[in-house]
Amino acid sequence: MAAGPDGPAAGGAPDETAEWLEADGLGGFASGLVNGLRTRRYHALLLTTTRPPAGRVVLVNGIEAWVETPAGRFPITTQRYAPDILHPDGWRRITGFACRPWPCWTFTLPDGTVLAQEILVARNACETVLRWRRTAGTGPCRLSVLPLLSGRDYHALQRENGTFRFDAVVQGGNVAWRPHADRPAIAALTNGSYRHAPDWYRNFLYTAERDRGLDDTEDLATPGLFAFDLASPEGAAMVLRTGDGLAVRAAPHAEDLMRAERARRGTAAPSFASVDSYLVDRAGGRTIIAGFPWFTDWGRDTFISLRGLVLGTGRLDAAEAILTAWAGTVSEGMLPNRFPDGDAPPEYNAVDASLWFIVAVHEFLSQSEAAGRAVPAAVTGALAAAAVAILAGYAAGTRFGIALDPSDGLLRAGLPGVQLTWMDAKVGDWVVTPRIGKPVEVQALWINALRIAGLRGWGAGHGADWSGIEARARTAFARFANPAGGLHDVVDVDHVPGTADPRLRPNQILAVGGLPFPIVAGAAARGVVDRIEASLLTPLGLRSLAPDDPDYAGRYRGGPPARDGAYHQGTVWPWLIGPFVDAWLAVRGRGEAAKAEARRRFLPPLLAHLGTAGLGHVSEVADGDPPHAPGGCPFQAWSLGELLRVRAMLDVAEDGPDA
């Protein structure tokens, strides 16, 4: 079965690439494969947060379900068990799938009975709705559903254990369980009947975890069996949620949730609807999840993706809330790059995240001004104060050797054993791409931040000469010119004056495109774009290292050391397509002929990708070698955000659900 965004084709082995996602706006979500299999530890029906958007726990991993008619008993779910056994074969009965407005499967049974199964997650409610209806066929039709539970941290796996509590509180067809005292209770609201029958299902195999070199086998508990009459006009309804409140009638409640979600999602274009997945609440404000299923909110990712996901879709109120919340986290002139998914303090370990914040603030204010939208003085004051604190902190010197070099106005950064740029992979004590010194994209961001501060008068009256520093830094940027073409990746490598790293990486593209103010123009800019296009461009984005480099890794595969080693050594990053297309257009004058060529060359592979891995989304990475198989997170915020920015650059609008 090969699945696309709107339907699978029957026949062959089950496709294990197309994934659906339903997010709750709090950091929780439901996800799985179109064929019904679970291949990741993160595939679940009820995965919620205890401290939004962190503290994620898996409560209901999945279900085992079958339908009985006079013609026999027919499974409609599929599991994979170790060592590699598919059972039962419910995937064979899938004859249709649509992911809008939420995932919906069509099952056709041998006797001609046709069923529809829908799954949706309600916004801000920690509730997952499952509904089954018979759409063709007559006579008796009975659905049986076994819930498969864990109640574990979403990064962990569960094996059969004596601490799992099967106790149930039953009220008609509604049931509540609390498998672990320190985790939320689970409620199932249904219009069926329940029979308590505790048991364990053992040795589920998650092949995506196996392929990533991680532990891959799990046991799940089933407390009992739900039975439904599908011959009833009401069909079958099950609402999974946290807590133990059972005094709710399942079918009307499910219909209310579906009605509210249908109205909220409306007729928005597909990628606009996908944007909602990443916008979540955090104590004191809003933020952006970097990617599903395993990332939380990261500073760098938030500010890069905000430009396309939030500003690009006109959500100025959300942008204001996100930037204001992050502005309050400045420490020693830095914004955190990561909020750990736990009780640990935020991590201040990025040189570029704070500079991306200044860019995002500038574009938010500019877009608000263009729209005639008044930004409260308290907000502009808080954003300006954060920007000034960042620039002043960087100028004076802060963590990890980040400081203005008084000799040339450029920004130096880095200490042994620390990864500060977006190329931040680390395996044990091995920093794969340390880039200590003066990385090229950091200088482009630094110069842009200085220019923005000068234009907006931030720091005026406090002796801050941002424009003067910018002028010196722009002049010194000439040191990045590479005699072989394009720009060096790092100068003053390891803080040794006069040295340079000439390897061909994509970071130099930000000196030409992707930021408000280009650093390089004219023939030099064309040289940068042409060199990157010749060696780094792929249909899904830019390679992180040229294929002729001895350190090039063409496949993002294997266990954590192998994957992290390849992460920025040739692996393709879709988010870089935004800066590249911006630069490509810039050196061609941004005329209609250039836009038409860009629409023809660069958009079709990305739009096709929306129907392959994470449906309606763009993957985190892809292989550097053809056919550039996608990898990493199948749902990545900055990848989707930059696709939206490319569409805007090329004057391509989404006119409706099928655009």
Query: Do 502 and 580 lie in a common domain?
Result: yes
495-504 pLDDT, tens per residue?
999 999 999 9
- Residue 10: the pLDDT is 37
Q: Is residue 108, in this structure, part of any structural domain at all? A: yes
Q: Is residue 209, in this structure, part of any structural domain at all? A: yes
| Number of domains within the chain | 2
Place of tokens 């809008």: 100
**Tokens of residue 384, six digits:** 């300006």
Torsion sign (Cα): 293, 9, 608, 542 = positive
Q: How confident is the model at residue 631 (pLDDT cuts 50, 70, 90)?
A: very high
Q: For 157-172, what is the mean pLDDT? A: 96
Torsion sign (Cα): 39, 41, 42, 45 = positive
Residues 65, 154 contacting (CB under 8 angstroms): no
Query: Do 78 and 19 lie in a common domain?
Result: yes
Domain boundary (236, 265, 294) is at: 265
- Residue 12: the pLDDT is 45
Q: Is residue 656, in this structure, part of any structural domain at all? A: no
Q: How far is CA 577 from CA 73, 278, 642, in A?
A: 50, 20, 7
Torsion sign (Cα): 170, 174, 179, 184 = negative
- Residue 659: the pLDDT is 31
Domain boundary (229, 245, 265) is at: 265
CATH number at residue 89: 2.70.98
322-333 pLDDT, tens per residue?
999 999 999 999
Range of the structural domain that residue 277 is part of:
270-649
Q: Count CA atoms closer than 13 A to 97's CA, side-chain side.
A: 26
Q: How confident is the model at residue 2 (pLDDT cuts 50, 70, 90)?
A: very low
579-589 pLDDT, tens per residue?
999 999 999 99
> Which residues, including other chains, have CB under 8 Å from residue 617's CB and lie 6 or more apart?
21, 274, 277, 610, 634, 635, 636, 639, 640
What type of residue sits at position 192? G
- Residue 14: the pLDDT is 60
**Tokens of residue 136, six digits:** 């063709």
- Mean pLDDT for the chain overall: 94
Q: Is residue 659, in this structure, part of any structural domain at all? A: no
CATH number at residue 558: 1.50.10.10
Place of tokens 């909602």: 276
Q: For 371-394, what is the mean pLDDT? A: 97
Q: How confident is the model at residue 461 (pLDDT cuts 50, 70, 90)?
A: low
79-126 pLDDT, tens per residue?
999 999 999 999 999 999 999 999 999 999 999 999 999 999 999 888
**Interatomic CA distance for residues 86 and 474, integer angstroms:** 61
Q: For 380-409, what is the mean pLDDT? A: 97
- Residue 464: the pLDDT is 83
Query: Do 383 and 440 lie in a common domain?
Result: yes
- Residue 359: the pLDDT is 98
Q: How confident is the model at residue 614 (pLDDT cuts 50, 70, 90)?
A: very high
Q: Is the pLDDT of residue 11 over 70?
A: no
Q: Percentage of the chain surpassing pLDDT 70?
A: 96
For the full predicted model, state whether its pTM sits above 0.85. Answer: yes
Query: Do 76 and 190 lie in a common domain?
Result: yes
Min mean pLDDT across 200-204, 271-275, 338-342, 609-613 is at 338-342
Domain boundary (265, 293, 313) is at: 265
- Residue 245: the pLDDT is 86
Q: How far is CA 373 from the centre of its chain?
A: 29
Q: How confident is the model at residue 339 (pLDDT cuts 50, 70, 90)?
A: confident
Bigger pLDDT: 265 vs 158: 158
Q: Can you spell out the DSSP letters for 405-427?
A: -TTTS-EEB--TT---SS---EE
**Interatomic CA distance for residues 26 and 31, integer angstroms:** 15
Q: Is the pLDDT of residue 567 over 90?
A: yes
3-state secondary structure of 525: helix
Residues 614, 634 contacting (CB under 8 angstroms): yes
Query: Do 485 and 538 lie in a common domain?
Result: yes
Q: Is the pLDDT of residue 462 over 70?
A: no
507-562 pLDDT, tens per residue?
999 999 999 999 999 999 999 999 999 999 999 999 999 999 999 999 999 999 99
- Residue 411: the pLDDT is 98
